[in-house]
Amino acid sequence: MWLVACCAAQAAFAQLTLEGCQRAARENYPLVKQFGLIERTREFNLENASKGYLPQLSVSGKASYQSDVTEMPFHIPGLEFGLDKDQYQAVVELNQMIWDGGAIRQQRREARAQADVQKGQLDVNLYALRDRVNQLYFGILLIDARLEQNRLLQEQLARNYAQVEACMELGVATQADLDAVRVEQLDARQKAAELGVNRKAYMETLGLLTGEDYPVHERLLQPSSGNRAYGGLRRPELSFYASRRKQLDVQEKGLEARLMPRLGLFAQGAYGDPGLNMLKGGLEPYYIVGVRLSWNVGGFYTRKNDKRLLAASREEVDVQEAAFRLENQMEASGHHYAVERLDSLMRHDDELIRLRTNIRRAAEAKVAEGTLTVTEMLREVTAEDQARQAKALHEIQRLQAIYDLKYTLNH
C-alpha cells in the first residue's frame, strides 16, 4: 500500500506545469546568456570612462631634414651661430585633466543608458518565448483531450460490435452490419495513431525549447483558469520604450557637455637638437610645464540640428509605443470575446451530450429490435462522439484564450 502511494506521489510530482515549462524555456534559451554579456560590457565601459581622470602619458619622436634654417641677419665677431638642417626630437608628455566639462560623467551615463536599452530589448525577445510555450503546451492538452475521447469512442464501438454480433445470432443483423462497425473501429484507431504522432512531435519541440528530454507519454498538468487578467498593460515593451526615452534624454545632456571647454595640466620632457635654446646647437634636454585650456566650438554649429534629431527620435518612440498599445488592445479584446464566446458555447455542451447519449441509446435499442439499421445507429454514435469532442475542445480553447489574454497583458 505504501509503495502504491509513493508511486502515485512520484507520478503527480513528475507532471509538467505550464509555469515550469515557461521558466525552463527562458533559462535554456541561448539569448539569456546575453544578460551577463550586457552587464560585463557596461562595467567595462564605465571603467574605461573613469580612467579618463587618470594622468595620460604619451611618447613621441621626430627626425627631420629641412631645406633651410634660421640665420642671423648680422654677423657678430667671435660668435658663430648656425642650426643644422637635420633635427631630432624625443618627447614624453604627461597630461592631467582638471575639468572636462562633464564629458566623462556623460560617458558613464550613456554607458548605463545603453545597457538598459539592450536589456529591455532582450526582455522583449525572451518574453515571446512564453507564447511559443503556451501554444505547444495547450496543443498537447488538446491532443490529450481528443485521445481521451477517442478512447471512449473505441470502448463504445467495442460494445456496439458485441451488440451487432448478438443481433446476427438472432438474425436481425448481417455481416455487412458488423463490417460497418469494424470500419468505424479502424477509423478511430487510425485517428488515435495520428494524434499520437502529433503529440510526440509537440513534446519533442517543447523539449527543445526547455532543454529537457521528456518521455513520449509525459503527462501535462492542466493549468487553472484563475482570475481573468483584465487589468492594465504590463508588457516588457513598455519598459523598453521608457529606457529608449531615458537614453535620448542622456544624449541630449551630452550635447551640453560637448560645448564645455577643457582645462588640464601638462608636463613635457624632451631631448632634441636643437633644444629650447635656438642659439645653442647639439642635443639638449629640456622640459615644459603649464596649464592647457581648449575649447572646441564646432558643437555650436550642429547643436540645433542635433536637438531636432533627438526630438525626431523621441517622436518615433512615441509612435512605436502608440502603435504597440493599439495592437495590444485589439489583441486583448479579441481574446476577451473569445472567452465570452466559449463560455456561451459551454453552457449547452452538457445538455447536447445528454441528448445525444439518449438518442444513441434509443438507436441501439431499435437495432436490437430490428427496426433501425446499424448504419443509422453508427451515425448517432458518431454524433455523440462529436458532441463530447466539442466539449473537450471548448474547455481547452477557453483555457488557452484566458492564458493568451494573460500573455497579451503580462498578468
pLDDT digit string, tens, across residues 301-326: 888 898 899 999 999 999 999 999 99
In a domain, 70, yes or no: no
User: Residue 12 has what pLDDT?
Assistant: 42
Would residue 43 count as lying in a domain?
A: no
Indicate whether 126 belongs to any domain: yes
Q: Evaluate whether 129 touches 209 at the Cβ level (below 8 Å).
A: yes
Q: pLDDT digit string (tens) for 168-215? A: 888 888 899 889 999 999 999 999 999 999 999 999 999 998 988 888
* 310 domain residue, yes or no: yes
Strands across the sheet containing 262-273? 56-65, 86-99, 262-273, 284-294
Please report the pLDDT score of residue 5 as a whole number.
40
pLDDT tens-digit map of 138-172:
999 999 999 999 999 999 999 999 989 888 888 88
* For the chain, the helix, strand and coil percentages under 3-state DSSP, each to the nearest 5: 70, 10, 20
> For the chain, what is the radius of gyration of the CA atoms?
41
Q: Pairing state of beta strands 86-99 and 262-273?
A: antiparallel
Provide the CATH number for the domain around residue 181.
1.20.1600.10
Q: Is residue 208 part of a domain?
A: yes
**Does some domain include residue 56?**
no
Q: Which structural domain, as residue segments, surrounds residue 377?
A: 100-259+297-409
Strands 86-99 and 284-294: unpaired
The string of DSSP codes covering 13-32 is HH-B-HHHHHHHHHHHSGGG
Please state the domain count of the chain. Answer: 1
Q: Is 268 part of a structural domain of the chain?
A: no
> Taking a C-beta distance cutoff of 8 angstroms, is the pair 266, 328 a contact?
no
Mean per-residue pLDDT, 318-347: 92
Q: Is residue 401 part of a domain?
A: yes
